[in-house]
Structure 1
């Protein structure tokens, strides 16, 4: 059976994606910063490896331990919600290190083996902030927009070697814990001058009209991995599909 390596599988979309591919009979290499064998069902086809996508040595070790990789899913991501002017540059760099440079580094680590076999697929998980900009998320949006452009270019570049590059764009998922690794509190990023502006936005977060379930994203990744056409974008969730339709028709 083919092997898929997924980053950021300790919770949320990554964990559910690992479950989906295990259920479909794939060999799954589930990676996370701190390995936890209790987050996924026991299986002979599952390996859990430590991986920090911001560290070159960690990437090299995980890719070597994984062996031949048929599909790479770059799911690990972090972010903060807050006014841009109040977001320290150190946190912005941390966001880009994971969401942008970490994805690029993972691709560079895996592409050579896929190119040698002239086969493989890379799925980069971004966000619907790339389809419709969201206020109070400028740094996060920028980090994901970069990967949208990167993946589109990569699809052309790697297509020459029969390697496919795809984008999965999840909608708003209230269970996502991507902000936990940034080390900053939301309340510290909303200056008093922004309070009136931010209040209705946070109210909308609390009661969204549509939301994305973890299974929605896992299904979108499954579709992207198995798609052999030139399709690039795969929205995850009803809200994502609505935004995708509004933008691309």
Structure 2
């Protein structure tokens, strides 16, 4: 294969936020981009270029996944990188979270990511190369209160991706994780907050209000769309055996705390950061 030919990336969930920024980053780097979303809106990407295709893809619909991959291969000849970015958020008291809501989280965040991986692997295996990047969350490193269901849906993808990375290495395929922090400027937080309605019962209301206030006041910088896009580009292009790419000062702070501290110290510091009732040690 000629090394000067543009490579092709397929990205899920590109209508806004991280996904849109990721698509724009790859376009700026000269890649062919398959920007997918459930309801395609060409207005999301006003630039005119033959290197961009905006396609429908619903990660909960296997037929939709297959059609997008087939069209991408037909258009650009091959897909070199898959970025599983589509996802939904939720803050809730788990006790009050119905099974239907939990299953909706897993259908998109977990099973949707698994389905797109399963669909793209045969094409990458035949060409003897490829990179799969699953975008998860900093909650897989440091889970805060009131995101138990969401953290579970993303943590499942972490275990899946690490196992998959060893499974696919003999075929020349790399699987990696990008772990973004909290990005208050994206629609992700707004949409997750809308789903929270009715899921914080009165028994949890005081705790939740104090918890969110404590998190908002914590003295750390948060994550930006540009940082996530840069991390995804690095994961797509760097050689070596790195599995996790961290995005955002908050993610890096949590990783340092988790991986460089004892279990007791980690739990104590997490409590101080997120739990309004946590006893502060003298």
TM-score of the aligned structures, taking structure 1 as reference length: 0.95
| Contact 1:128–1:243 (CA under 8 A) maintained in structure 2 | yes
* Equivalent residue, structure 1, for 2:52: 46
Q: What is the total number of aligned residue pairs between the two structures? A: 249
State the Cα deviation string for residues 96-129 of structure 1 (Å, max 9, x = none). Answer: 0000000000001100011111100000000000
Alignment partners' CA distance in 1, 2:193 and 2:217:
25
State the Cα deviation string for residues 45-103 of structure 1 (Å, max 9, x = none). Answer: 11000010001111111111111110000000002101001111111101000000000
* Equivalent residue, structure 1, for 2:90: 80
1:147 aligns with 2:147: no
| Contact 2:183–2:189 (CA under 8 A) maintained in structure 1 | no
RMSD in angstroms over aligned alpha carbons? Answer: 1.6
**Gapped runs of 5+ residues in structure 2?**
1-5, 261-282
* Equivalent residue, structure 2, for 1:120: 130
| Contact 2:40–2:55 (CA under 8 A) maintained in structure 1 | yes
Which of 30, 37, 45 aligns to 1:32? It is 37
| Contact 2:91–2:193 (CA under 8 A) maintained in structure 1 | no
CA, structure 1 residues 103+4, in 2 after alignment: closer, same or farther (shift >3 Å)?
A: same
C-alpha deviation, 1:205, in angstroms: 4.9
C-alpha deviation, 1:181, in angstroms: 6.5
| Contact 2:176–2:244 (CA under 8 A) maintained in structure 1 | yes
Deviates more, 1:119-128 or 1:36-45: 36-45
Which of 214, 232, 241 aligns to 2:225? It is 214
C-alpha deviation, 1:210, in angstroms: 1.9
| Contact 2:11–2:19 (CA under 8 A) maintained in structure 1 | yes
TM-score of the aligned structures, taking structure 2 as reference length: 0.85
C-alpha deviation, 1:176, in angstroms: 3.0
State the Cα deviation string for residues 153-187 of structure 1 (Å, max 9, x = none). Answer: 00000011110000000001112323677796423
| Contact 1:94–1:182 (CA under 8 A) maintained in structure 2 | no
SS at match of 1:169: strand
**Gapped runs of 5+ residues in structure 1?**
none
Higher Cα Rg, which structure = 2
Which of 62, 66, 72 aligns to 2:68? It is 62
CA, structure 1 residues 151+104, in 2 after alignment: closer, same or farther (shift >3 Å)?
A: same
SS at match of 2:44: coil
Alignment partners' CA distance in 2, 1:4 and 1:22:
10
Alignment partners' CA distance in 1, 2:139 and 2:24:
26
1:158 aligns with 2:163: no
